[in-house]
A and B are shown apart, each in its own frame.
Chain A
C-alpha cells in the first residue's frame, strides 16, 4: 500500500510504500520504502493535504502550507510540482484550517476566515479564483462532499454555521433523474459583476447547548466538522458531526433543530479531528491524549479504541473501498467530480502524530495492520493505495502496551458485536423519520423534545412545523406502545406471573 504523509519537522512530504504487516519495530520485518520530497523547512510545513483527481484524469496531491502557499504535486514519482499559489499578504500565523476538493473546486480556508475557491478544471485561467471572508476565528471548515456550494465552519466561540455560496451554480444541462449521476452534472462559479468575490448567504447557525449542572454557559470551541448522510437529496437540510476542544462530539440535524441532537462528552481532553467510518452512524475521533477511538452517533456510546499511539494523534485518514460500484457514504474522495477510485478491499484507518509513527489499522476490526517509523512528526496523512501485496497479517507489536490492548480489544470486540446486532435494525434513513423503532429512538425523541422545549421564543419560523411533525410521531409511537402492551397482556399466564414476580421483587423471599 502507498501512503503520503506530511512531515512537520522538515516541512516535507513523504511517499511511503509497504505491504500489510510491516512493522519497523521488528528487525526482520519488511522495511518500507520512504521517499522524501517537497522539503521547504519547518516554517512552511504542510497544514492540510488532500488528493484530487482532475478532469485530465491525473491525480495530484494538494497541500496547504503555513504562510499561505498552496501547491499541487504529482501523486506518482518523481512528484513534480504541478502548480503553486503564493499569497504574499498572508500573515505567517494564519493557519489553514480547511482544504477541500469537491466537483473540481479547490477551497482553502484560513483561521482568519479567508476562503478562496479555485476552479482546478481551468487552472491557467486565474480569473477563476474567488474569495470571501468568513470572519474570524475559524478552527474548522468543511465543504459538503456532494454540493460544493454548501460550506460549514466554526471556531473558538464561533458556533457552527452553514452557508451557501451563491456564485456556485449547477449546470442543469442533460442531467438524468438518477441521483447517483452527480458526476455528469457540473458545477461552475458564476462571475458576478463586482469582481472575484464569492457571495455568501447564511443558511443555518447552531445554538449553544443548555447550561451545565452549575448553570454555567458551556464554552464553544469547534475543532472539526464532518458532513453525515451526504447522499441525502436536499440542499437545505443537513446532518453534521462536530468535535470540540472540550471533549464533546455533537450531531446536528438542521431539519429539526439548531441545538445538537446528540451531545456527548467523550473525554476530558480536547478532540483534534474527526474521520468518517464505514457506516454513517459511526465516526472516529482523536484527542490530545493519544486516543483514537470510534464513536457511535446514534446511541452516543464510545466504541473501540485504535490503540498503540504513544503521542497525540494529529491526523486521520479513513480509507473506504468501493463495493460493487456503489458509493460508500462518507467517502468524500468518491464524491470528487471525476470519482477517484481507491484500489483495495479492506477498510483502513491511517493515523499519524507526535510520536513520529505512521499506523495503519483495519477500520472494522481495529487491529494494527502496519506500523512505520517516519522520523518526523506528522501533520497530515493520506492513503493513496490500500492494496496489500501480501495477505494482511496482524502485526505483532513489541511494545508493552500491546498485551494490555489485547485484553481491551477483546472486551471491546464483545461490545461491538452487540452494537453491530443493534445497528442492523436501524438504517441511516430510519433514524429521525416517521418510522417508529427501538428504545434508542424513543430516548432520542425524548431528548429532542427536551431540547426544543428549552429553546427561546424568538426562534426559527419553522419551529411550529417541527412541533407538528413531532406530535404526529408521538401519536404513532403511543399507538404502537398500546399495541405492545396488548400483546403482553394476551401472552400465557406463566409469563404474566413471572413478570409480576419480577416487578414486585423477591419480597416473599427476603421476609424472614
Chain B
C-alpha cells in the first residue's frame, strides 16, 4: 500500500499499469509502492468506466438489468440458512392455545415483576399495560413463588401471566406464562427504548392494536408466534390505526409499535409510538415451568446459519 507521504509528493509514476504479480520481483520498496499505486488507480478508473457504460446500456434496455440481477444474487446469512424440516410444518392436533383460537376467548393478562424490582421495571410495566389491552398490573410481593402466583391467576381466570425480570436497575427479561397449562417462555430483553427516547414519537391510545408477526417459520417459531397472538384480543380496532409488530429475524424478535396513515394507495406514513425492544428466546418449558421443551445453549451460536424460529 502506498504510504500517505508518497501520494502527495510528485514522483515519477509509470503510465502503463503493471500486473500485481510482477511487483513481487521488484526489490526497491519505493518503486514497488509506486507501481502498486499505479496498478490500483488504473483498476479503479477501469472499473468506473465499465460501470458507466453498463449504466448506459441498462438505461437503454431495462431487461438487461433484470437479467443481471437475477444471475447475481448475493449470498446472505438468511439466504444460506441451514435447511430446517420443521419450517412450515402444519400444527398437528391441538396445542395449548386452542382455547384462544377455537373458542375465541378474550385474553386476561396479569403483569408483574421479579422480586424487589426497581424503577425501570415499573416504567416498562406501565408501557405493557398500554400495549396489551385489558391487562392488569400487580406489584410483586415476597411471599409467593412464581408457581403459586400462576395458580392464583388460574383460580381467577387469567389466561396469561407476564413477568418482567429486572436486575441491577436494568430490565433484562420477559417471561410469558400461558395459563392454565400452557408453555412458559423466557426471553432476554435488550435494547429497550422508552417513547421519550424516540424522536418524533406519537402518543398511543387505548385502541386495540392490529398485530403483525413476521418470519415465525419453524415449528418452535409457530409456538412462539401463537403465544404472542394469544396476548391480544382477536378484535382489532382499525379506527385507532395502531399496529404492534413482532418481527423475527435471525432468532431475534424486534418489538415495535406504530401508528399508520395511508397517504395514497401505495404510500403509508408511519409514526413510531411506544417502546421498542428486542427479545431473544432462551427457554421454552412445558406447563408452568415443568419439563424443558427447548433451551438455547451457547453451542447453538457456533453455527451462524442455523436458526430455530
Q: Which residues of A contact B (CB under 8 A)?
A: 7-12, 24-27, 39, 41-42, 272, 288-290, 310-312, 314, 354-356, 373, 375-376, 398-401, 403-404
Contact = CB atoms under 8 A, between A and B. Distances in A.
Interface stretch (B52-60, B77-85, B127-135, B245-253): B77-85
10 contacts: A9-B92, A9-B93, A25-B83, A289-B295, A311-B292, A312-B292, A398-B83, A399-B300, A401-B300, A403-B302
A73 B90 CA distance: 26
Contacts of A354: 286, 291-294
A360 to B, nearest CB: 16
Contacts of B66: none
A10 B292 contact: no
A229 to B, nearest CB: 31
Interface of B: 82-86, 89-95, 219, 284, 286, 290-295, 297, 299-303, 306
B197 to A, nearest CB: 36
A18 to B, nearest CB: 13
Given A272-B291, A373-B85, A373-B89, 17 more contacts: A7-B93, A8-B93, A9-B94, A10-B92, A12-B93, A26-B83, A27-B83, A42-B94, A288-B291, A312-B286, A354-B291, A354-B293, A354-B294, A375-B89, A375-B90, A400-B299, A400-B302
Contacts of B294: 310-311, 354-355
A373 B88 CA distance: 13
A356 B294 CA distance: 11
A373 B95 CA distance: 17
A271 to B, nearest CB: 11
Contacts of B290: 288
**B89, B92, B302 pick with most chain A CB within 10 angstroms:** B92
Contacts of B295: 289-290, 310
Contacts of A355: 293-294
A95 to B, nearest CB: 14
A117 to B, nearest CB: 31
Nearest to B306: A400
Interface on chain A toward B: helix, strand, loop, or mixed SS? Answer: loop
B297 A401 contact: yes
Contacts of B83: 25-27, 398
Nearest to B296: A310
B103 to A, nearest CB: 15
Contacts of A375: 89-90, 92, 219
Q: Which of B85, B86, B90, B302 has the most CB of A within 10 A?
A: B85
A255 B299 CA distance: 47
A31 to B, nearest CB: 9
B92 A376 contact: yes
A27 B82 CA distance: 10
A401 B299 CA distance: 6
B84 A25 contact: yes
Given A312-B286, A400-B299, A400-B301, A24 B92 contact: no
Contacts of B93: 7-12, 39, 41-42, 376
Contacts of B300: 399-401
Nearest to B301: A400
Contacts of A7: 92-93
B303 A400 contact: yes
A311 B291 contact: yes
Contacts of B89: 373, 375
Contact of A356 (B82, B86, B94, B291): B86
Contacts of A403: 299, 302
Contact of B293 (A10, A312, A376): A312
A288 B287 CA distance: 12
Which of the listed residues A7, A290, A403 has the most CB atoms from chain B within 10 Å of its own CB?
A290
Contacts of B293: 311-312, 354-355
A356 B293 CA distance: 9
A429 B90 CA distance: 52
A290 B92 contact: no
Contacts of A373: 85-86, 89
A290 B306 CA distance: 20
A445 B171 CA distance: 55
Contact of B299 (A27, A41, A289, A404): A404
A272 B292 CA distance: 12
A404 B297 CA distance: 11
Sorted from nearest, which 5 A-B pairs have the closest CB atoms? A10-B93, A9-B93, A400-B303, A312-B291, A288-B291
Given A27-B83, A354-B293, A373-B86, A10 B94 contact: yes
B85 to A, nearest CB: 5
Contacts of B84: 25
A9 B291 contact: no
Contacts of A42: 93-94
A407 to B, nearest CB: 10
Contact of B219 (A288, A290, A356, A400): A356
A9 B95 contact: yes
Contacts of B86: 356, 373
B50 to A, nearest CB: 39
B99 to A, nearest CB: 12
Contacts of B301: 400
A160 to B, nearest CB: 23
Contacts of B92: 7, 9-10, 375-376
A31 B302 CA distance: 27
A291 B290 CA distance: 15
Given A24-B85, A310-B295, A41 B94 contact: yes
A27 B290 CA distance: 33
Nearest to A8: B93
A398 B286 contact: no
A163 to B, nearest CB: 30
A63 to B, nearest CB: 16
B85 A25 contact: yes
A236 to B, nearest CB: 38
B68 to A, nearest CB: 29
Contacts of A398: 82-83, 303, 306
B75 to A, nearest CB: 18
Nearest to B286: A354
Contacts of B91: 9
Contacts of B297: 401
Interface centre among A272, A288, A310 (most CB of B within 10 A): A310
Contacts of A27: 83
Contacts of B95: 9
B130 to A, nearest CB: 35
B306 to A, nearest CB: 6
A8 B94 CA distance: 9
Nearest to A312: B291
